[in-house]
Amino acid sequence: MKMDRLTMAHERAGAGPREHGLAMLTALTAAEIYGEAKPEQAHGLYVAIGRRFSTLVDMADVRDLDDLAERINGLWAVCGYGHARLQAVETGIRVVHRGAPVTIEGDHAGHWVRLFPALLEGAYDAWFRQLGSSGLLSTRLLRHEGDVIEFHHGG
């Protein structure tokens, strides 16, 4: 019976078997993590995963925010994770990430809305640190509405 529901969900999603399987694995992993860990522990884990994710971007020869945005958006495009705009502001760097996946297949508990922003937070923070950001500065979530996630990196 459960496999029938899984097959029907797969057909409705229109994703290939691999994408569907990876989404289900992500959703089930998140359910286990959020079911066993305290919220701040789960957040910290996904921030750490975001830091690891950041290593997929070659930072060689990145000279400014435009170069960084181009590299980051290349990764997000390959993953289907939307795109980012980086803007220097008086208090640091503003990141507006648009086109973020709102949900994933199989995430009945709705963990994705916490998981994905934490992953992005870790990735953006790691990239800014690779460019020389001080340990006194941090990346924090400002806003998350639908497919738009906004961060600030600064003091």
* Residue 21 binned pLDDT confidence (cut-offs 50, 70, 90): confident
In CATH, the architecture of 2-154 is 2-Layer Sandwich (3.30)
SS3 track for the chain: CHHHHHHHHHHHHCCCHHHHHHHHHHHHHHHHHHHHCCHHHHHHHHHHHHHHHHCCCCCCCCCCHHHHHHHHHHHHHHHCCCEEEEEEECCEEEEEEECCCCCCCCCCCCCHHHHHHHHHHHHHHHHHHHCCCCCCCEEEEEEEECCEEEEEEEC
pLDDT tens-place string over residues 110-144: 999 999 999 999 999 999 999 999 999 999 999 99
Domain boundaries, the chain: 2-154
58-83 mean pLDDT: 95
pLDDT tens-place string over residues 85-94: 999 999 999 9
